[in-house]
Amino acid sequence: MVETIGNTAEGNMIINVGPQHPATHGVLHLVITINGETIQKVEPHLGYIHRSIEKMCESLTYRQFIYVTSRMDYLSAHINNHACALCVEKGLQIEVPTRAQYIRVIMDELTRIASHELWWGAMAMDLGAFTPFFHAFRERESINDIMEETCGARLTMNYMVPGGVMQDIHPDFQRKVKAFIQQFKSKFSEYNEMVTGNIIFQNRMKQVGVLSAEDAISYGCSGPAARGSGVSCDIRKIYPYEIYNTLEFEEVLETGGDSFARYMVRLNEMHQSIKIIEQLIDNIPEGDFQAKTKAVLKLPKGEFYQRVETARGELGVYIVSEGGTTPYRIKFRSPGFSNLSVLDHIARGSKLGDLVAMMGTLDLVIPDIDR
Amino acid sequence: MWSLSEIAHTIHEWLNTTFNSTLATLIEMVVAGIAVISLFALLGLVLVIMERKVSAWIQIRLGPNRVGPKGMLQSMADTLKLLVKEGLTPNGADQFLFNLAPFIAMIVAMLLMAPIAFAKDFQLWDLNIGVLYVSAVSSIMVISILMAGWSSNNKYSLMGAMRSGAQIVSYELSAGLSLLSIVVLTGSLQVSEIIQSQSNGWWIFKGHIPAIISFVIFMIAVTAETNRAPFDLAEAESELTAGFHTEYSGMKFALFFLAEYVNVFIVCAIGATVFLGGWMPFHIGSWEGFNHIMDFIPSSIWFFGKTFFLIFMIMWFRWTFPRLRIDQLLNLEWKYLLPISMVNILLMTAIAILGWHF
Amino acid sequence: MTNEDLKIKLTELMPSAVIEEGGEWLTLNIEASNWHSMATILRSEVTVCFDYLFCLTCIDWKSHLTMVYHLSSTSYRHNIVVKINLDRNNPAIETVANIWRTAEFHEREVYELFGVNFLNHPDLRLLILPDGWEGKNPLRKDFEDPINMIKL
């Protein structure tokens, strides 16, 4: 057991950030050794929201376990479900109808935008600017309304089933999505005016938490955290799933490696997601929204791995099947877990105030880390 | 015309005719004390609701709208809640200092009320070193914060207090120097004389560019001195949870909270007095008619109007900017603001000697 | 690199490994005692360059444990799976935290959930579970928690 109170032998102070702390956005517990304002060591203590989803999934059927995963990274719940659905489909070799694929990808990208919106607001709030939070939520609210109409839920959508989506889209779906795209485009300049261009903000972000490309790979970082360091790791580009290989979009890369680079990656990713949705929204083909599947799914004996790009990075679903109705072993490779492990490395030597900038730009979602 | 000074004068006359002079002075002191305490409470209530409404307006939401008309009584309800809340003292805390700190914060804020001219001839104590008194007494604020941070026996509080100490001591310099640049022009530290010297125009207009520079520096420095965003490092919420008042609750917390708002009022009042002419109406050179119309607006309205305009500006800062980091905060003061204000005061002296100001 | 090319390459590099085909990716079955030296080869050999360990986990087969490492190369974009069987009663394996830094956290997770002992790990402590939970490994098949567990 590590001492979490008092001082170290060298006279450095140990402070506990979390599990209840305004900057950790959840129940992350960081034990920080500081010398004055300078961070010497950051040690994460996890498990405050560990629900052992992997163990739970071992006793849930292939239809049921998908919905537990909404509770991992709740901000990209839809993409988590998507990964599980894809993995089961891979095992059963189900051909998903094109309409379902289109809907899935649109929903994925909407989720990604919603997640980035929340991240943007929350990160600005960490740095002391409260106002952006409300501006971000204005746009996020529109996405949630769209989700609510079609999926029936706003946060944990549970819209995926093996073989497609649960029901067809709402008749108003396309109009609302287009209205959202308009809204997003007209309001986006506010984001830059309010936060990106602010000199205080730039000073807080630039050269803070610099992560080199080698370290990003070695620490297993993925998603915007790694792309900010110039590591090309967008699963949608490298190992395309669904219809991503037919779509035109760019993998956003920045080379700075600092917090500002990670920030810019996420901002630009929102634009790319909008671009993807624009390509799809008018062309959703007619047809089934779900493939015909058996009532009870039995995956053949073997191992199946599916990786997708969530808002936070690479999510891997690893199913080991013994041929039964439930997985024998299931492993979720969550992006947050690996991204968190780099925090100690980049935080050493920085000021305490920088820690929130780093945590903010790594975009940690604690249930995703703990699972 | 209805004016505060006449009311004060009438009361003074009546007391002196009714009682002997010693008793009259005593009663006047009590009345003044009660008036300051009520003003203190009232300002707290008004500024809190103002802040919440301003922030709501900036953040595209409604703000409090349930208690009273348009939510105007919300801060009353909050105060009531804070009054009946248990004022907890942590086990490891230094009981005496812990309980003393909020009162020192409040007393300092009240002391600062003394030299402020709320209207024409309406001032508690027009002492001849008014501006110096304000900058001297406002520095005592840091003691209460350090006391609170140290005695809480909490590392967050301690760090908040240490940050606050460094911050207030640094920004005191710039605030003082920018005030001094106007004092150079007026040749007096007395508040009433500073106001009187602006009867033909406010110093921000008369003092050329150096006056504007010192006004800007003053606004930055007092924002830092009152520990408000973007300089709220002492209570940086996302880093130190609540900084020096992490362990405070109930009325003891409310006193810190009130003291912060009253401090904002006071520094804005000083800014309004020194740069914007205090209660002096807006006059333009020799436009007799215009000046006469302006004189019809009561002086207290002028004073509070200017002060609340500055308060609004400080609130605007708070809800727009992200927070600075501690090293950036100190860099800003020692590498930029202080040298600029030093050069500025030199310029101002030259202007005063050569008589270039209007 | 396709799986066939990769297989040829890997056979050259590691003659002792048993390479299994059939799944999406090649599977290397190797001995626990060889693992660290082979991991070093996989990481440092420029022609394969597996620099990205994207998944590290363990499976409890009731008779034995299997460590599963998913490796990927960011320059060649090929993937392999490495499997190592461990004794269930006294599982121990050399750490790879010094080769892939991400393994440090993942190995700590496996340590507490499966009880695998990682030799030479820089900081092998409980990460997720509360203190005093050593010895009970929740993700093993024989773990029972009568209060909180879901059973089908």
The CATH number for C23's domain is: 3.30.460.80
Q: Please check whether residue A225 touches B, CB under 8 A.
A: no
State yes or no: pLDDT of C152 exceeds 60. no
Minimum distance, in Å, between the CA of residue C15 and any CA atom of chain A: 25
- Chain-chain contact of B238 with A356 (C-beta, under 8 angstroms): yes
Rounded Cα gap, residues C39 and A203, in angstroms: 41
Relative to beta strand C79-87, strand C26-30 is parallel
CB-based contact A17:A326 (threshold 8 Å): no
On chain A, the residues whose CB falls within 8 A of the CB of B58 are 131
CA-based nearest residue in chain A for residue B229: A128
Q: Tell me which residue has tokens 């990208």.
A: A109
- Chain-chain contact of C77 with A238 (C-beta, under 8 angstroms): yes
Q: Please check whether residue B76 touches A, CB under 8 A.
A: no
Partner-chain residue, chosen from C70, C100, C105, that has the shortest CB–CB distance to A218? C100
Minimum distance, in Å, between the CA of residue C84 and any CA atom of chain A: 15
Count of domains observed in chain B: 1
Q: Which residues contact A232 (CB under 8 A, 6 or more apart)?
A: A238, A251, A253, C74
By CB atoms closer than 10 A (0-12, 13-18, 19+), residue A323 is exposed
CA-based nearest residue in chain B for residue A25: B238
Rounded Cα gap, residues B164 and A186, in angstroms: 41
> Domain for residue C34, yes or no?
yes
Count of domains observed in chain C: 1
Core vs surface per residue C23-37: b (16+ CB within 10 A) or e: eebbbbebebeebbe
> Domain for residue B42, yes or no?
no
CB pairs under 8 A between A and C: 93
- Chain-chain contact of A217 with C127 (C-beta, under 8 angstroms): no
CB-based contact C43:C35 (threshold 8 Å): no
Q: Tell me which residue has tokens 């899935």.
A: A104
> Domain for residue C139, yes or no?
no
Give the range among A305-309, B148-152, B306-310, C22-26 with minimum mean pLDDT: C22-26
Do chains B and A have 3 or more beta-carbon pairs under 8 angstroms? yes
> Domain for residue C102, yes or no?
no
On chain C, the residues whose CB falls within 8 A of the CB of A314 are 54
- Chain-chain contact of A314 with C139 (C-beta, under 8 angstroms): no
Which residue segments constitute the domains of chain A, with CATH numbers given? 50-338+352-357 (1.10.645.10)
Q: pLDDT (tens digit, 9 = 90+) per residue, A85-103?
A: 988 888 888 888 888 888 8
Q: What range defines the domain where residue C30 resides?
A: 3-92
List, as ranges, residues 93-132 from A with C-beta within 8 Å of B. Answer: 124-131
Confidence (pLDDT) at A1? 43
- Chain-chain contact of B237 with A201 (C-beta, under 8 angstroms): no
Rounded Cα gap, residues A240 and A251, in angstroms: 12
Minimum distance, in Å, between the CA of residue C39 and any CA atom of chain A: 13
Q: pLDDT (tens digit, 9 = 90+) per residue, A189-228?
A: 888 888 888 888 888 888 888 888 888 888 888 888 888 8
**What rounded mean pLDDT belongs to chain B?**
84
Partner-chain residue, chosen from C101, C125, C149, that has the shortest CB–CB distance to A219? C101
Rounded Cα gap, residues A29 and A138, in angstroms: 30
What is the side-by-side order of every strand in the sheet holding A302-309? Answer: A302-309, A314-321, A329-333
ipTM: 0.87
On chain A, the residues whose CB falls within 8 A of the CB of B236 are 128, 353
A32 half-sphere exposure, CB direction, 13 A CA radius? 31
Q: pLDDT (tens digit, 9 = 90+) per residue, B261-280?
A: 888 888 898 888 888 887 87
Q: What range defines the domain where residue B298 resides?
A: 85-354
> Domain for residue B62, yes or no?
no
Confidence of residue B2 (pLDDT cuts 50, 70, 90): low
- Chain-chain contact of A329 with C125 (C-beta, under 8 angstroms): no
3-state secondary structure A40-75: EEEEEECCCCCCCHHHHHCCCCCCCHHHHHHHCCHH
Q: Tell me how far the alpha carbon of residue A169 is from its chain's centroid.
A: 24
- Chain-chain contact of B159 with A352 (C-beta, under 8 angstroms): yes
CA-based nearest residue in chain C for residue A314: C54
State yes or no: pLDDT of C14 exceeds 80. no
Q: Tell me which residue has tokens 């006449």.
A: B6
Residues of chain A with pLDDT under 70: 1-7, 9, 23
- Whole-angstrom CA distances from A141 to A75, C128, C150 are 13, 34, 35
Interface test with B, best of A4, A5, A15, A28 (most B CBs within 10 A): A15
Do chains C and B have 3 or more beta-carbon pairs under 8 angstroms? no
List, as ranges, residues 211-240 from B with C-beta within 8 Å of A. Answer: 229-230, 232-233, 236-239
Interface test with B, best of A126, A140, A258 (most B CBs within 10 A): A126
A22 prior amide bond cis, ω within 30: no
> Domain for residue B68, yes or no?
no
Q: What is the CA radius of gyration of chain A?
A: 21
Chain C: partners with 3+ C-beta pairs within 8 Å: A
> Domain for residue B328, yes or no?
yes
Minimum distance, in Å, between the CA of residue A119 and any CA atom of chain B: 15
Q: Which of C71, C68, C76, C46 is nearest to C116 (CA)?
A: C68
Q: Which of B107, B224, B232, B230 is nearest to B168 (CA)?
A: B224
Q: Please check whether residue B159 touches A, CB under 8 A.
A: yes
Tokens describing residue B24:
């009259």
Please report, as a single letter, which amino acid is at residue A299.
Answer: L
The residue-averaged pLDDT of C79-102 equals 87
**pTM score, two decimals?**
0.86
State yes or no: pLDDT of B154 exceeds 50. yes
CB-based contact A46:A369 (threshold 8 Å): yes
Relative to beta strand C64-72, strand C52-60 is antiparallel
Q: pLDDT (tens digit, 9 = 90+) per residue, C96-123?
A: 888 888 888 888 888 888 888 888 888 8
CB-based contact A124:A190 (threshold 8 Å): no
Instruction: With residue C148 as reference, give the H or E element that holds it.
Output: none
Instruction: Centre a 10 Å sphere on the Cβ of residue C92 and count the other Cβ atoms it contains.
Output: 11
In this structure, the dihedral spanned by the alpha carbons of residues A183, A188, A194 and A199, taken in order and rounded to 10 degrees, is 180
- Chain-chain contact of B325 with A138 (C-beta, under 8 angstroms): no
> Domain for residue B38, yes or no?
no
Confidence (pLDDT) at A63? 86
- Chain-chain contact of A353 with B319 (C-beta, under 8 angstroms): no
Interface test with A, best of C54, C113, C140 (most A CBs within 10 A): C54
> Domain for residue C108, yes or no?
no
Q: pLDDT (tens digit, 9 = 90+) per residue, B201-225?
A: 777 777 778 888 888 999 888 888 8
Minimum distance, in Å, between the CA of residue A252 and any CA atom of chain C: 16
Q: pLDDT (tens digit, 9 = 90+) per residue, B17-46?
A: 888 888 888 888 888 888 888 888 888 888
The residue-averaged pLDDT of C29-54 equals 84
CB pairs under 8 A between A and B: 82
SS3 state of residue B252: helix
Partner-chain residue, chosen from C52, C77, C104, that has the shortest CB–CB distance to A341? C104
Q: Which of A23, A204, A357 is nearest to B240 (CA)?
A: A23
State yes or no: pLDDT of B1 exceeds 60. no
Q: Tell me which residue has tokens 């492990």.
A: A341
Minimum distance, in Å, between the CA of residue A328 and any CA atom of chain C: 9
Q: pLDDT (tens digit, 9 = 90+) per residue, B75-116?
A: 888 888 888 888 788 888 888 888 888 888 888 888 888 888
Q: Which residues contact A61 (CB under 8 A, 6 or more apart)?
A: A296, A297, A325, A326, C152
- Chain-chain contact of A55 with C57 (C-beta, under 8 angstroms): no
- Whole-angstrom CA distances from B40 to A82, B86, B105, B131, B266 are 59, 22, 12, 20, 11
Minimum distance, in Å, between the CA of residue C70 and any CA atom of chain A: 10
Q: Which of A27, A29, A31 is nearest to A2 (CA)?
A: A31
- Chain-chain contact of C54 with A56 (C-beta, under 8 angstroms): no
- Chain-chain contact of A217 with C129 (C-beta, under 8 angstroms): no
